[in-house]
Structure 1
Amino acid sequence: MKLFPTGHATHPQWQMAAGLVLAQVRAQMALPDHASAPTLGLLYITDHYASEAQHILDHLSAELPEVTDWSGTVGIGVCANNAEYFEEPALSLMLCELPSDQFRVFSGVAPLGSAEMTGFEAHTALVHADPVTHDLPDLIGEMAGRTDTGYLFGGLSSGRGELIQFAVGGNGNIRGHGAAGGVFSGGLSGVVFGEGVRLISRVTQGCQPVSPQHVVSACDGNLLLELDGEPALDVLLRDLDISLDRPQPAIETVRATMVGLSDAGSDGLRRTGDLGADVLVRHIIGLDPTRRGVAIADMVEPGMHLSFVRRNAQAARADLMRICAEIREELEPEEQTLATARAVAGCEAESAPHPARRIAGAVYVSCVGRGGPHFGAPGAELQVVRHALGDVPLVGFFANGEIARNHVYGYTGVLTVFTSEPVA
């Protein structure tokens, strides 16, 4: 698998940004180690361009007729390798060269059919979703259940206006997209991949525990009543070292605190004190002094594990470096060829895209709460990824919630790479 061409740009006029992006991808398509016949375009735009989404898609489709299928969405920010565009007009594009029988684009207009009807076995899926969609967690779970692995990756659209999604299926794979124009709002859309498309994906947390792990022993819907057999509110006050006798500082502390939930037996609070990949971070939305309860923004069940957490830039950076190291380790064969050894050993300044790294392209979806200054400087989050993986082709956006496996996360990043066979 050759490297996927990518392009990204910012400009007040979308036509100028699109022209800069097209120049970048065309130059890369002419290089011998880059894909020259891409079939799938992954397109992400900031909300400044949302009202022009149809024009942008039509323009790129006309300029890149070899690309038959398109998927993507809108975000408050979009990202590329070593760069993020946050709260400014920008677009980011990656062109994937994948066999046409190994992926399918789906949307609300053209939903994914069953394997019995289509003859296509879904292995994994990139999913974009509207955050206001009714029963969204159930839809995500149902979608995961329609794949062989149960693994989804992606995120919820974000923006200050219309939340659009791109979904165009070509080569006669899916009916109904032509009349709709390929720009949608509401529901789910994305791309399902067959077993022949090899992916590695990891979730990185953006919060740090500020309490021990507790077991939910009593609850009522989204109201925590007891933790470890004690009133939940009493445990919260003790863990955060606050008192309702001083309401103002107590309220400020609670507002800065969230909960990390995980099922019993899953990857919860680790021995290192970090949050595991299965932890779902949710907001505290209220206190109930009468019932001594704590209300959170999700349903809970007895037996679940819970820790109180706070956003932490240093912990987020360290955890992002960890998942990048895991991906690199999984991609590096035990017996390296000379090309592979040279590619993975080069310093960051010498880390031009190289097929020997076995990464054809990457998709990174990060939370809007992590973007901008949270990592200390503009683009710092993407610089961590580049430093760890090298200058690999990358596209993505800042989401209103991140999707991994069958869950919707918050304050996380989901990094997924398309891998290829080792280079001889």
Structure 2
Amino acid sequence: MKRFVHAHATHPQWPMAAALVLAQLRAQLAVGAADGQAAQAEAASRLGAGAATTPLGLVYLTDDYADAAADILDHLSHALPQVTDWVGAIGVGICATGAEYIDEPGLAVMLCDLAPSRYRVFSGLVPLGATQGPEGFVPQTALVHADPATPELTELVQELAERTIGHYLFGGLVASRAGSVQIARSSRGAVVGHGREAAHGIYPGGFSGVAFGPDVGIVSRVTQGVRAVSPVYRITAAQGNRVEALDGQPALEVLLRDLGLSLDDLGAVVARLRETLVGLQVPQAQAAIAPARPGRVPLRVGDDVLVRHVIGLDPLRRAVVIADEAPLGGTWMLCERHAQAARADLVRICAEIRDELSPDAGDGLAHDPVARIAGAVYVSCNRRGGPHFGAAGAELQIVRQALGDVPLVGFFAAGEIAHHRLYGYTGVLTVFVADEGAGPDG
């Protein structure tokens, strides 16, 4: 696996955006040819005709192009015949290296240097199995796109993660003004009898994505976009979505006390709760990060904390209703969205990725760990991006400053997927590790 090739562009007319993307890809392939790479020289001269070094393409487009999704995919496939498999989604916003396209036309493409034996494309019509095909492909991880309206979504994410030997997914919930439109076209053939969209690899709902085998190295991190505004409590009584007691105290009284509110002023309570979230930690995760000492507000919200909305108060039971099942025996903290905390946490995960890719301290190597990154996928909450970070593209610029100009594509999601969990208000940054001996330019 060598450095991936990627491009992105915007234009009111999709054929022009596609032409700009293809021109960028052609230029990058030409650079590879100038470096003496004969295979890429062939690809550059014919936009990849006959080459097989990039059979997997990741493609993301904003919903401005939703009506033309099948035509765009056909156009890219015709121009890049060596790309036999396509995976992606349509969103209200997409991102690329150092850039984001939110509420505007946008197209981003990344071509992945992965042999077909190292991945499998899946969808609702061709689901992911523990092993697939006569060669016995075994999925280690998977990039997942999912419809937020799917029934029992949390359970399905967990079940899908269990089909991978790493029990690790990364991706997000796809949502746009065009619905939940996903892209999954496989060289293993379309399923006939399911309409034009399915035949073209366009799916309005369900699950889709691409699984990667054990020999595809990835490093992935979750960054939170909130900060804690209360101490951590144990959930000592709960039923379904209703939290009844925290450390043995009525949950409603704890919430009102921590926020300095009173039910005598319902207007202030409603206004404050619109800005307040709850961070939940399930019992089995508590061994990783212990709760803060009583009365202490945590300095950082860890990636094992799931952030959910407060959706109601129950004065009769002195309880609080949240937008998820309350984990009895787990922990609770109040949170709020916070730009500075989000920036600091994004810098932190980039530093962790660099550290994990760094050579061992005693091996005498001085290589830049970023040179080991073949490409990256970033899935961020649609409540983040430029509007949250203070300037257009600011979130992606933080990643770029930390990791350099690594090829990156992704989208803004209605919920983020990492490990076997559904997150909110987070970013999931996943990098592909280049094979040993593969330089940054392939």
Scaled by the length of structure 2, the TM-score of the pair is 0.89
1:116 deviates by 6.9
Do structure 1's residue 328 and structure 2's residue 334 form an aligned pair? no
Do structure 1's residue 413 and structure 2's residue 427 form an aligned pair? yes
Do structure 1's residue 199 and structure 2's residue 213 form an aligned pair? no
Q: Could you tell me which residue of structure 2 aligns to residue 19 of structure 1? A: 19
Letter in 2 for 1:263: V
Do structure 1's residue 103 and structure 2's residue 119 form an aligned pair? yes
Q: Could you tell me which residue of structure 2 aligns to residue 85 of structure 1? A: 101
Q: Could you tell me which residue of structure 1 aligns to residue 78 of structure 2? A: 62
Does structure 2 retain, via aligned residues, the 8 Å contact 1:324–1:385? yes
1:267 & 1:274 partners in 2: Cα distance? 14
1:7 deviates by 0.6
1:30 deviates by 2.3
Give the alignment partner of residue 285 of structure 1, picking from 294, 311, 314. 311
Give the alignment partner of residue 158 of structure 1, picking from 175, 178, 190. 175
1:10 & 1:174 partners in 2: Cα distance? 30
1:29-77 Cα deviation digits (max 9, x unpaired): 2223799431101001111111111111111111110001000001111
Q: Could you tell me which residue of structure 2 aligns to residue 306 of structure 1? A: 332
1:376 & 1:267 partners in 2: Cα distance? 33
1:99-144 Cα deviation digits (max 9, x unpaired): 1101000001111234176511110000000111111111111100
Letter in 2 for 1:234: E
2:306 & 2:178 partners in 1: Cα distance? 27
Do structure 1's residue 389 and structure 2's residue 403 form an aligned pair? yes
Structure 1 residues 116, 79: CA separation in 2 closer, same or farther (over 3 Å shift)? Answer: closer
Does structure 2 retain, via aligned residues, the 8 Å contact 1:285–1:295? yes
2:191 & 2:269 partners in 1: Cα distance? 56
Gaps of 5+ in 2: 41-52, 293-297
Do structure 1's residue 377 and structure 2's residue 396 form an aligned pair? no
Q: Could you tell me which residue of structure 1 aligns to residue 10 of structure 2? A: 10
1:267 & 1:239 partners in 2: Cα distance? 26
Letter in 2 for 1:232: A
Do structure 1's residue 112 and structure 2's residue 115 form an aligned pair? no
Letter in 2 for 1:57: L
Does structure 2 retain, via aligned residues, the 8 Å contact 1:209–1:308? yes
1:71 & 1:375 partners in 2: Cα distance? 28
1:21 deviates by 0.5
1:97 & 1:31 partners in 2: Cα distance? 16
Do structure 1's residue 251 and structure 2's residue 278 form an aligned pair? no
1:336 & 1:8 partners in 2: Cα distance? 38
Q: Could you tell me which residue of structure 2 aligns to residue 351 of structure 1? A: none
Does structure 2 retain, via aligned residues, the 8 Å contact 1:266–1:278? no
Paired residues for 1:133-172 under 5 Å: 133-170=150-187, 172=188
Give the alignment partner of residue 379 of structure 2, picking from 365, 380, 399. 365
Structure 1 residues 277, 168: CA separation in 2 closer, same or farther (over 3 Å shift)? Answer: same
Letter in 2 for 1:93: V
Q: Could you tell me which residue of structure 1 aligns to residue 254 of structure 2? A: 235
1:417 & 1:127 partners in 2: Cα distance? 15
Letter in 1 for 2:24: Q
Partner secondary structure for residue 216 of structure 2? coil
1:389 & 1:328 partners in 2: Cα distance? 8
1:181 & 1:266 partners in 2: Cα distance? 46
1:422 & 1:270 partners in 2: Cα distance? 40
1:169 & 1:175 partners in 2: Cα distance? 10
1:406 & 1:195 partners in 2: Cα distance? 18
1:2 deviates by 1.7
1:389 & 1:269 partners in 2: Cα distance? 31
Does structure 2 retain, via aligned residues, the 8 Å contact 1:50–1:163? no
1:269 & 1:289 partners in 2: Cα distance? 31
1:266 & 1:416 partners in 2: Cα distance? 25
1:378-422 Cα deviation digits (max 9, x unpaired): 000000001111110000000000000101100000000000245
Q: Could you tell me which residue of structure 2 aligns to residue 402 of structure 1? A: 416
Letter in 2 for 1:369: R
1:275-302 Cα deviation digits (max 9, x unpaired): 1111110000011111111111001131
Partner secondary structure for residue 142 of structure 1? helix
Q: Could you tell me which residue of structure 1 aligns to residue 149 of structure 2? A: 132
1:43 & 1:359 partners in 2: Cα distance? 19
Partner secondary structure for residue 31 of structure 2? coil
1:166 & 1:159 partners in 2: Cα distance? 14
1:195 & 1:301 partners in 2: Cα distance? 33
Letter in 2 for 1:220: Q
1:200-231 Cα deviation digits (max 9, x unpaired): 00000000000001111111100111111111
Letter in 2 for 1:53: A
Scaled by the length of structure 1, the TM-score of the pair is 0.92
Gaps of 5+ in 1: 345-355
Structure 1 residues 389, 116: CA separation in 2 closer, same or farther (over 3 Å shift)? Answer: closer
1:161 deviates by 2.2
1:145-203 Cα deviation digits (max 9, x unpaired): 00001000000112122321000111x37866996210001110000000111000000
Does structure 1 retain, via aligned residues, the 8 Å contact 2:175–2:181? no
Q: Could you tell me which residue of structure 2 aligns to residue 319 of structure 1? A: 345
Does structure 2 retain, via aligned residues, the 8 Å contact 1:50–1:162? no
Moved over 6 A (4+): none
Structure 1 residues 114, 174: CA separation in 2 closer, same or farther (over 3 Å shift)? Answer: farther
Does structure 2 retain, via aligned residues, the 8 Å contact 1:288–1:295? yes
Does structure 1 retain, via aligned residues, the 8 Å contact 2:130–2:164? no
Does structure 2 retain, via aligned residues, the 8 Å contact 1:75–1:158? yes
2:338 & 2:355 partners in 1: Cα distance? 26
